[in-house]
Amino acid sequence: MVGSVQVVSISSLKGGVGKTSVTLGLASAALAAGIPTLIVDLDPHADASTGLGVALSGPQQEVGRQIKAGRRGDLQANAAVSPWTQRDKSAQGPVLDVAVGGSFGTVYDRPDLRPRDLRRLKTLLEKTTKYQLVLIDCPPSLNGLTRMAWTASNQAVLVAEPSLFSVAGTERTMRALEMFRNEFNTSLNTTSVVANRFRDSSTEQRFRLSEMRRMFGAQLLNPVLPEQPDWQQIQGAAYSVHQWPGESARSTARHFDQLVQSLTGTSGAAKRPRVRAAAP
Ligand SMILES: Nc1ncnc2c1ncn2[C@@H]1O[C@H](COP(=O)(O)OP(=O)(O)OP(=O)(O)O)[C@@H](O)[C@H]1O
Ligand SMILES: [Mg+2]
């Protein structure tokens, strides 16, 4: 790894809140901005690999096998080239590679990984030479794989929906992350939250979003990501949102452009109040 590579993990304890969608949106924005990027699909479900339309070719192996190989592993040599790069006519020699996910990684998704196992992904990323940005899509748990991602990252992004359970869980996850950072990792210097799937028409969601602003302060990244009606169709077609037609996709693409910029300039924030019950 050369220079100031940003390694950003995207995680949440709760499933289905948009980790993979945020990873794909950031990947799309990074590609549009011409930032050489590696996506590490650490979820054994491999949704990011599916959304990016990649498959292993020839002797290439999924990311879990590289993690097992340890110092002999090679993420760069085993990374698949995203077909999004072939559709991108604007960028100069675009780089968007994918360390492809798969079920082998589940062997590391235990709650009791030893510190030397937690460092496996970090060691692999330190050997890469091609990327300025690494985005790690995590499974919905705080077990070994997510902790391995946090250990490898200098930025941790938690994804939350503006709903009671998601916000309360994110607050607990943030505390777990801070404890983890104090205990294991010195290079994790920024923790932030992305609010996803916001519906402005919902009173409850507006309440939860204002609660998130109070709780997370400057750690809540701007902009908030609204409900995007085309998302499933875009992901189903394995397309980049920047390459999808229509004003709605263009608006989402602009949100992710701003998030990529925010991720390079965000700093951790002050103390947050606890979650409160909703107003009637
Ligand atoms: N902003 C959004 N607007 C509309 N749909 C969304 C949005 N974000 C995510 N979705 C949809 O919600 C579903 C779950 O999203 P996604 O797979 O990104 O969540 P996840 O947190 O990665 O899930 P998992 O925990 O299973 O890995 C997907 O069908 C996705 O298309
Ligand atoms: Mg996912």
Give the pLDDT confidence of 139-165 residue by residue, as tens digits: 999 999 999 999 999 999 999 999 999
In the predicted model, is pLDDT for residue 138 greater than 70?
yes
pLDDT at 27: 97
Q: Which two tokens stand for residue 232?
A: 């499933």
Q: What is the pLDDT of residue 184?
A: 86
Which is the closest atom of ligand 1 to the Cα of 137?
22
In the chain the domains, ranked by start, together with CATH numbers, are 6-260 (3.40.50.300)
Q: Report the chain's terminal Cα–Cα distance, integer Å.
A: 52
- The distance of Cα 216 from the centroid of its chain, to the nearest Å, equals 18
Mean pLDDT computed over 46-65: 93
What are the tokens at 43? 């979820």
CB 256 near ligand 1, within 6 Å: no
Give pLDDT, residue 91. 53
Query: What was the pLDDT predicted at 89?
Result: 62
What the block records as the tokens of 280 is: 């009637």
The minimum-distance atom of ligand 1 relative to the CA of 198 is: 1
Report the distance separating Cα 183 and Cα 269, nearest Å: 19
The label of the residue with tokens 């990947």 reads: 27
**DSSP code of residue 277:** P
Nearest atom, ligand 1, residue 226 CA: 1
pLDDT at 88 over 70: no
In the structure, ligand 2 is a single-atom ion and the residues with CB under 5 Å from it are: 19-20, 47
Mean pLDDT of 113-140: 96
The distance of Cα 164 from the centroid of its chain, to the nearest Å, equals 22
CA separation for the pair 25, 112 (Å, rounded): 32
The answer to whether residue 265 scores a pLDDT higher than 70 is no
Confidence of residue 268 (pLDDT cuts 50, 70, 90): very low
Query: Residue 225: CB within 6 Å of ligand 1?
Result: yes
Rounded mean pLDDT, 2-23: 92
Tens of pLDDT, residues 169-225: 999 999 999 999 999 877 898 899 999 999 999 999 999 999 999 999 999 999 999
E-only strand ranges, the chain: 6-11, 37-41, 80-81, 96-99, 133-137, 155-160, 190-198, 225-226
Confidence (pLDDT) at 114: 94
Whether residue 136 has pLDDT greater than 60: yes
pLDDT band at 274 (very low <50, low <70, confident <90, very high): very low
- CA separation for the pair 58, 47 (Å, rounded): 21
**Residue 78 Cα, ligand 2 centroid: separation in angstroms?**
21
Tens-digit pLDDT profile for residues 226-242:
999 999 999 999 999 99
C-alpha distances (whole Å) from 98 to each of 83, 95, 143 are 10, 10, 22
Tell me the C-alpha to C-alpha distance, in Å, between residue 129 and each of 2, 3, 97, 222, 256.
6, 9, 12, 30, 25
Is residue 206 within 8 A of residue 270, CB to CB? The reply is no
How would residue 2 be classed by pLDDT, with cut points 50, 70 and 90?
Answer: low
Q: Which residue has the tokens 């394995």?
A: 238
Whether the CB of 168 sits within 6 Å of ligand 1: no
Ligand 1 and 231: CB distance under 6 A:
yes
On the question of pLDDT at 67 being above 60, the answer is yes
Mean pLDDT (whole number) for 248-260? 96
Rg of the chain (C-alpha set) = 18
Is residue 267 scored above 60 in pLDDT? Answer: no
Q: How many CB atoms lie within 10 A of CB 245?
A: 9
Buried b (16+ CB within 10 A) or exposed e, 158-186: bbbbbbbebbbbbbebbeebeebbeeebe
pLDDT > 70 fraction of the chain, expressed in percent and rounded: 91
Q: What is the mean pLDDT of residues 43-50?
A: 97
276 is written with which tokens? Answer: 């409160």
SS3 call for 225: strand
d(CA 266, CA 264): 6
- Cβ-in-10-Å burial (0-12, 13-18, 19+) of 154 comes to middle
- Distance, CA of 80 to CA of 201 (rounded, Å): 41
